[in-house]
Structure 1
Amino acid sequence: MMPSEDAALSNVSRETQERLTCFADLLTRWTARINLISPGDVPHLWDRHIRDCLQLVPLVERGTTITDLGSGGGFPGIILAIATDAEVTLIESDRRKAAFLREASRATGCRTRVVDQRIENVEIPRAPVVTARALAGLPQLLGWTEKLLAPDGYALFLKGQHAPDELTDAARDWHMTVSQIPGRTAGGVILKISDIRRV
């Protein structure tokens, strides 16, 4: 167990803890072969990545359907699938990362579907929740999200200190309803966005 794992898991069930630990062990092994997270982040995996994604859990209805954009190493898609029993579509165009996502889903018993295509080419049913973390600027995220989000749904984007600038940029081309929820890290924010449509 890594030093900050206890704090990261303080509010989740024992079963969820075990599944997250299984995921973390698998990701650590795969990161030695492919770039899922930077090698320097491995000692901080629980605090910097897993706990960061767990802050979305209270914002997601248990068992809902989620589309996760640019899933990469499984953040936040796999974490939400484990912690909320959501059915998650993981979109990841990198075939090696997609292979990891499939193996992580199998090992942790997640209800996921991995789509190894570019986001702009994906054609799937609209979901009530769309998520993304460390993927692209907000204007680009909204362009992708518009066709993947259900009309009454919302997007959850984990953002850093540049979120105000991204919101200003996005407002030139997009109408949206935005809630800004303070994140757990300095300057971090969760953007909860609904009513997305082009100006």
Structure 2
Amino acid sequence: MTATRNLPGLDVSRETLSALQAYESLVQRWNTAINLVSKGTLADFWMRHVVDSAQVFTFCPEKAQTWVDLGSGAGLPGLVVAIIARELRPGLRVTLVESDLRKATFLRQAAQALELCVTVLSQRIESVPALSADVVSARALAPLADLLGFADQHLARDGVAIFPKGARYETEVVEARKAWSFDVVRQPSHSDAEAALLVIRNIRRAQD
């Protein structure tokens, strides 16, 4: 285990770090056949993808029982969350929603290889019946205004949405407020000094 392979803000075992490295190896192997992540990010996969996804877990409420990751793609952050939750929150049920059948196949195969108990729904987000999740996440999926629409559909009334966003996150917040009312806390990113995690509650349409 290399000294740099750690997770800021999380105290996890060597077994969990090893599982995350095994997950990284699976993505590297599958990426030659399926474009799971940009090839240019593979060399710095741990920081760009694992740390970036793991930090989302740090804002999981203590009483959360269900986590839904929308547009999971390579399992970022969904599979990373499931690996960490196995140790730190073993009762948390994780559901991954991914409409691309090839990526959904990867998610199922990776979950099986890593012995993770997750549910993979290979459907469009809009067509999935309301999931009433305690936590909803999405990474590199859509503008914030669209994400709030998805969260409004799948989040429990007192749930929290956690969306990692890049340098333009303030612009996205301003745009989203034209259609939505919501409470947001901006958390600094451990993986990108210009990025932030938007922790959002009380989502409702602006005219409501």
Task: Give the aligned partner of residue 97 of structure 1.
Answer: 103
1:183–1:189 CA contact under 8 A, matched in 2: yes
Task: Give the aligned partner of residue 114 of structure 2.
Answer: 108
**AA matched with 1:191:** L
Task: Give the aligned partner of residue 5 of structure 2.
Answer: 6
Aligned partner of 2:126 among 120, 123, 126 = 120
User: Shift of the alpha carbon at 1:112?
Assistant: 0.8
Once structures 1 and 2 are overlaid, which stretch shifts more, 3-12 or 121-130?
Answer: 3-12
Matches within 5 A, 1:145-164: 145-164=151-170
Task: Give the aligned partner of residue 205 of structure 2.
Answer: 198
Aligned partner of 1:170 among 173, 176, 185 = 176
Distance in 2 between the 1:4 and 1:168 partners?
A: 40
**TM-score with structure 2 length normalisation?**
0.89
User: Shift of the alpha carbon at 1:65?
Assistant: 1.2
* Partner secondary structure for residue 123 of structure 2: coil
Distance in 2 between the 1:35 and 1:163 partners?
A: 25
Matches within 5 A, 1:1-199: 6-8=5-7, 11-61=11-61, 64-85=65-86, 86-184=92-190, 185-199=192-206
Task: Give the aligned partner of residue 89 of structure 2.
Answer: none
**AA matched with 1:104:** A
Pair 110,61 (structure 1): closer, same or farther in 2 beyond 3 Å? farther
Distance in 2 between the 1:164 and 1:125 partners?
A: 28
* Partner secondary structure for residue 152 of structure 1: strand
Distance in 1 between the 2:39 and 2:194 partners?
A: 24
**AA matched with 2:43:** P
**AA matched with 1:50:** V
User: Shift of the alpha carbon at 1:14?
Assistant: 1.4
* Partner secondary structure for residue 5 of structure 2: helix
User: Shift of the alpha carbon at 1:73?
Assistant: 0.4
* Partner secondary structure for residue 58 of structure 2: helix
**AA matched with 2:66:** T
* Partner secondary structure for residue 25 of structure 1: helix
User: Shift of the alpha carbon at 1:61?
Assistant: 4.2
* Partner secondary structure for residue 96 of structure 1: helix
Q: Deviations over 1:146-178 (max 9, x none)?
A: 010000001000001111011101111111011
* Partner secondary structure for residue 203 of structure 2: strand
**TM-score with structure 1 length normalisation?**
0.93
Root-mean-square deviation (CA, aligned residues, Å) is: 1.7
Task: Provide structure 1 residue ranges, at least 5 long, that are not aligned to the other structure.
Answer: none
* Partner secondary structure for residue 161 of structure 1: coil
Q: Number of aligned pairs?
A: 198
Distance in 2 between the 1:42 and 1:5 partners?
A: 16
Q: Deviations over 1:67-107 (max 9, x none)?
A: 10100000000000110233211010000000000011111
Task: Provide structure 2 residue ranges, at least 5 long, that are not aligned to the other structure.
Answer: 87-91
